[in-house]
Amino acid sequence: MLMSLSSRQDLPSNRVRGNAGRNADANRARALAEPVALGILCYLLARPVAHLESAETLAAIAWPAPAIAIAILWPMAPRRWPFHLLAVFIAIACTGDFSAASWRSDLGFCVLNVLEVALCAWLGRRYVDAGGTIVTTASLMRFLLLLPLAAIGTTSMLGATLASDLSHDGWWREWSTLFVGNGVAVLVLVPAVLAWRTRASESAGTTRHAEPLIALACSVAVAALLAAAAALHVSEQVQRAVVSLLLAAIAIHGGLAAAATTVGTAAVFGVALTLMKLGPYRYENAESAWHLQIDMAGLAILTFFVAVAVRERRQFALRLERARRMESLGLLAGGVAHDFKNILAAVDGYAEIAHDRLADDSAARRPLREVRAASARGYELTEEILLAARRGDRVRETLDLMSIVRESVALARPLCRNGVVIELEAADSRLLVAAHGGQLVRAVLNLSSNASLAARSRVVLRAGSAASLDEPLAIGDAPPGAIAWVGVEDDGPGIPAEHLQHLFEPFFSARAKGGGSGLGLAIVAGVACEHQGGIAIRTGPEGTRFRLVLPLVSKAAAAPGEPLEPAQPIGDGEHVMLIDADAASRERCEDWLAELGFEPLGYADAHEALDDAARIGDDLALVLADPASLPADHAQFTARLREHAPRARVVALSRPFDREAVASALKDSS
CATH code of the domain containing 660: 3.40.50.2300
Q: How confident is the model at residue 121 (pLDDT cuts 50, 70, 90)?
A: very high
Q: Which of 134-143, 544-553, 643-652 has the highest mean pLDDT?
A: 544-553
Predicted confidence at residue 562, as pLDDT, reads 38
58 with 181, same domain: the answer is yes
Backbone dihedral region of 511: left (phi > 0), alpha (psi from -120 to 50 degrees) or beta? beta
- In 3-state terms, what secondary structure has residue 574? coil
Whether 402 has a pLDDT exceeding 70, the answer reads yes
Instruction: Give the pLDDT mean for 79-106.
Output: 83
Provide the 10 A C-beta neighbour count for residue 361.
6
Q: Which pLDDT tens digit goes with each residue over 635-653?
A: 777 778 777 777 777 777 6
Are 162 and 86 in the same domain?
yes
Give the range with max mean pLDDT: 375-384, 598-607, 627-636.
598-607
Alpha carbon distance 257, 242 (integer Å): 21
Integer-rounded Cα Rg, in Å, for the chain is 34
Q: Are residues 99 and 151 in the same domain?
A: yes
Q: Look at residues 270, 264, 261 and name the one whose alpha carbon lies nearest to residue 289.
A: 270
Of residues 612 and 282, more confidence is placed in 612
Give the other-Cβ count within 10 Å of 366's Cβ: 10
For strands 599-603 and 543-551, give the pairing. Answer: unpaired
Please state, in angstroms and rounded to a whole number, the distance separating the CA atoms of residues 617 and 210: 77
Taking 80 as the threshold, does the pLDDT of residue 413 lie above it? Answer: yes
Mean predicted lDDT score pLDDT of the chain? 77
- Given this model, what pLDDT does residue 511 score? 63
Assess whether pLDDT exceeds 80 at residue 443. yes
Residue 20 inside a domain? The answer is no
Closest CA to 526 of 382, 338, 328, 330: 330
* Domain shared by 520 and 634, yes or no: no
Is 299 within a domain?
Answer: no
* 559 pLDDT above the threshold of 60: no
| Torsion angles phi and psi, residue 295, rounded to 5 | -65, -40
Q: Which of 161, 183, 198 is the last residue of a domain?
A: 198
Q: Which of 52-66, 74-88, 270-284 has the highest mean pLDDT?
A: 74-88
Q: In this predicted structure, what is the pLDDT of residue 150?
A: 92
Give the mean model confidence (pLDDT) for residues 538-550: 90
| DSSP code for 3 | P
Residues 413 and 493 in one domain: yes
pLDDT tops 90 at residue 547: yes
pLDDT single digits (tens) 172-211: 888 888 888 888 889 888 988 887 776 543 333 334 455 6
| pLDDT value of residue 389 | 59
Pairwise pLDDT comparison (610 vs 543), residue with the higher score:
543
Angle at 485 between CA 430 and CA 324, to 5 degrees: 145
Out of 73-87, 271-285, 317-331, 639-653, the most confident range is 73-87
Confirm whether 287 is domain-assigned: no
- On the question of pLDDT at 143 being above 50, the answer is yes
In degrees and rounded to multiples of 5, residue 433 shows phi and psi of -135, 150
Q: Is 9 helix (H, G, I), strand (E, B) or coil?
A: helix
Last residue of a domain, one of 198, 224, 248: 198
Q: Which residues contact 291 (CB under 8 A, 6 or more apart)?
A: 236, 281
Distances (CA, A) of 274 to 142, 175, 187, 465: 31, 22, 19, 50
Q: Residue 128 pLDDT > 50, yes or no?
A: yes
Q: What pLDDT is stored for residue 69 in this prediction?
A: 92
State phi, psi for 364 to the nearest 5 degrees.
-80, -10
Answer whether residue 231 is part of any domain: no
- What's the pLDDT score for residue 87? 92
pLDDT at residue number 117:
92
Q: Give yes or no for a contact between 92 and 58, defined as CB atoms under 8 angstroms apart.
A: yes
What is the percent of the chain where pLDDT is above 90?
Answer: 10
Mean pLDDT across 28-37: 82
For the cut 50, the answer to whether the pLDDT of residue 54 exceeds it is no
Please give the average per-residue pLDDT across 147-157, as a whole number.
90
- pLDDT band at residue 124, thresholds of 50, 70 and 90? very high
Residue 260, in any domain of the structure: no
Final residue of a structural domain among 198, 215, 241 = 198
Residue 310 has pLDDT above 50, yes or no: yes
Q: What is the pLDDT of residue 61?
A: 40
Whether residues 594 and 512 fall in one domain? no
Q: What are the pLDDT digits (tens) for 316-326?
A: 887 777 666 66
CATH number assigned to the domain comprising residue 449: 3.30.565.10
Q: Over the range 560-586, which residues count as b (16 or more CB within 10 Å of their CB) and which as e?
A: eeeebebeeeebeebbbbbbbebebbb
- If 0-12 CB within 10 Å is exposed, 13-18 middle and 19+ buried, where does residue 637 land? buried
Task: Report, as an integer, the average pLDDT of 453-475.
Answer: 86
Residues in the chain: 670
Q: What is the pLDDT of residue 427?
A: 80
Number of folded domains that form the chain: 4
**pTM (2 d.p.):** 0.56
Query: CA 171, CA 184: separation in Å to the nearest integer?
Result: 20
- Decide if 4 is inside a domain: no
| Residues spanned by the domain of 334 | 321-388
Q: Residue 201: what pLDDT?
A: 38
Q: What is the DSSP letter of 547?
A: E
Weakest mean pLDDT among 113-122, 258-267, 454-463, 566-575: 566-575
Q: What is the mean pLDDT of residues 510-522?
A: 64
| Structural domain includes residue 443 | yes
Beta-bridge partner residues of 547: 487, 536
Give the pairing type, strands 575-579 and 534-540: unpaired
Closest CA to 257 of 497, 544, 499, 36: 497
If DSSP codes are grouped into helix, strand and coil, which group holds residue 117? Answer: helix
Q: Is it the case that residue 489 has pLDDT exceeding 90?
A: yes
Q: Has residue 311 got a pLDDT over 60?
A: yes
Residues 646, 594 share a domain: yes
Residues 539 and 581 in one domain: no
Q: Are residues 547 and 582 in the same domain?
A: no
Say which residue, 537 or 378, is predicted with more confidence. 537
The answer to whether residue 1 scores a pLDDT higher than 60 is no
Q: Is residue 205 part of a domain?
A: no
What average pLDDT score do residues 573-581 get?
81
58 and 143 in a single domain? The answer is yes
Please determine, for residue 516, whether its predicted confidence score (pLDDT) is greater than 70.
Answer: no
The Cα–Cα gap between 535 and 547 comes to 6
Residue 446: pLDDT above 80?
A: yes
Pairing state of beta strands 543-551 and 534-540?
antiparallel
- Same-domain status, 384 and 405: no
Q: Are residues 539 and 653 in the same domain?
A: no
